């Protein structure tokens, strides 16, 4: 649920969907506390009592469907880890080829559409192409910062030093 993919889940991005871009980052620490420190293994064990607790937590977005989706997605992530060895190894199978699209001109890509479709086949929820695109941006798969943006070079540098999982 971490935006930078520490646990691999695009769930925090799922909460963002349909909301002001400032809403979820402002509540990040509340989400961290509510969702087991963003550890998918802990979230996968949540039960009905946890759902009730989360629905009563004024520090997060209290949308039952998204809360249930986060728990579901944590369970699906656990299954992927059992199958692939790590969620990161699975996600990196979808690394997009070089993309010549203009920076900041879209909210989805062919790679995000493919990953979204495959995640949904595995039972993940609230992982549409735009949500997955935002996840891919946060992970550094997609660097669509404008050429003049100070962040573009930082993302390129970080990406060039990254060792992909095997």
Cite the annotated binding site by residue number: 145, 149
Structure tokens belonging to residue 107? 């909210």
With b for 16 or more beta-carbon neighbours within 10 A and e for fewer, the 20-54 pattern comes to eeeebeebeeebbebbbebbbeebbebeeebeeeb
Q: How far is Cα 64 from Cα 57, in angstroms, rounded to an integer?
A: 12
Q: In this structure, how many other beta carbons lie within 10 angstroms of the beta carbon of residue 66? A: 20
For tokens 């989706």, the residue is 69
Using an 8 Å Cβ cutoff, are 103 and 147 in contact?
yes
Q: What angle do CA 47, 130, 126 make, to 5 degrees?
A: 20
Q: Using alpha carbons, select from 3, 14, 5 the residue that is nearest to residue 120.
A: 14
**Annotated binding residues for Zn(2+):** 145, 149
């Amino acid at each position: 649920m971490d935006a930078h993919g520490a646990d691999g889940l695009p769930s925090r991005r799922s909460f963002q969907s349909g909301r002001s871009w400032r809403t979820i980052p402002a509540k990040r620490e509340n989400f961290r506390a509510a969702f087991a420190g963003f550890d998918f293994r802990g979230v996968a064990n949540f039960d009905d009592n946890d759902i009730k607790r989360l629905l009563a937590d004024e520090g997060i977005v209290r949308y039952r469907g998204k809360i249930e989706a986060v728990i579901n997605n944590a369970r699906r992530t656990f299954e992927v880890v059992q199958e692939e060895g790590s969620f990161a190894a699975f996600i990196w199978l979808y690394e997009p080829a070089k993309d010549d699209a203009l920076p900041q001109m879209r909210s989805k890509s062919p790679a995000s559409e493919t990953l979204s479709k495959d995640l949904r086949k595995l039972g993940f929820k609230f992982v549409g192409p735009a949500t997955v695109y935002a996840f891919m941006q946060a992970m550094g798969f997609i660097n669509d910062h404008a050429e003049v943006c100070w962040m573009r070079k930082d993302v390129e540098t970080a990406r060039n030093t990254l060792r992909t999982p095997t």
